Structures are given as structure tokens and as C-alpha cells.
Amino acid sequence: MSRILVTPLSAVPNVIRTHKPSHLVTLLSPEHMIETPKGFREDRHLRLGVNDIVDIRAGENPPARAHIEALLAFTRSWPADDPILVHCWAGVSRSMAATYTILCDRLGPGSELAAAWAIRNRAPHAYPNALLVQYADELLDRQGRMIDAIKSIGAGEVVAEGTIVEFPLVGL
């Protein structure tokens, strides 16, 4: 079954070993960026150097429209025969925003609320980065529906690190 796996950085080696994803998306601050894991194809690893901030004036390396453009281009090349692994430092904010973007893109217009609630139901700790979601909403021409849907699920449980979460591309 085609699925998206979301994890914190600490779980990446185990998830690669046990789930054998074909593609990997890393969203980490540039100073903490990882190399492509041993045995993983570099052309199937998207590394986005971005800090987890929601105000472009709040710090260095904020999310940018180019990050979502790169994410969409990369994930649209994923054939979905095997899982894709999406991770950030904690598996809570950047990776959940990226996963939400992938789900909305794959499921099409009108899926925004169902995708947001799938995230909340499967990941009570999820708190998708609002700035990444804003750029995705613009690029996917969702006219604010992605932003509104994420607001509707609330902030989520406060955790130091998320757990491994699976999102099937069908039957959310």
C-alpha cells in the first residue's frame, strides 16, 4: 500500500531499515542537515534547509515558497510504489506541513479538511508549520482552504518528539 511515513530524525535509520522507503524528504535547519543515509540513492533524497519558524522576520532560514516548490516537484516524481519517508527534527511541525502538502496535492482540491483531520487523528502531536502550509495553499491554488483546515484541527499535544506515523494515500 502506498503511504507517507512521518518521523523524528532519531527514528530515520530504523524506519529506512524496516519500511524500505523509496524516497526521503529531510526538513532540517541548515546547520543540522544530514547526509544522505548510507545505501539510499542521493537522487531520491530531498534535503530542505529550513528552520521551524512561522514568521519570516523571526530568524534565519525561514520557510520559503521555494521550499514548497521543491517539495512538490520532488514528490510528484515519487511513483508511490513504495513508501516515502518525511522527517524533521521532532516529527511535529515541518514534516507534518510537508506531509499535509503531499496529501492535498495527491488527493486533489476539496481534500483539505479530510487531510487535516487525518493528520490530527493519526498524530495528536502534529502542529504543521503554518508558513509552509500558507505557501502550499498558494502554490496549489486552494484559496485559503488548506490554512483554514489546519487552523480547525488546533495546535495538538505538546511533545518533545513525535512518533512514527503512517498516512495511506487512500482511505484516509
Domains in the chain (CATH in brackets) are 3-168 (3.90.190.10)
CA dihedral 140, 122, 89, 155 (to 10 degrees): 80
Would you say 37 and 26 are in contact if contact means Cβ atoms under 8 Å apart? Answer: no
* Amino acid residing at 37: P
Q: Look at the pTM and tell me if it is higher than 0.95.
A: yes
What's the pLDDT at 1? 58
What's the pLDDT at 158? 93
What's the pLDDT at 160? 93
pLDDT tens, per residue, the chain with 172 residues: 589 999 999 999 999 999 999 999 999 999 999 999 998 999 999 999 999 999 888 889 999 999 999 999 999 999 999 999 999 999 999 999 999 999 999 999 999 999 999 999 999 999 999 999 999 999 999 999 999 999 999 999 999 999 999 999 887 6
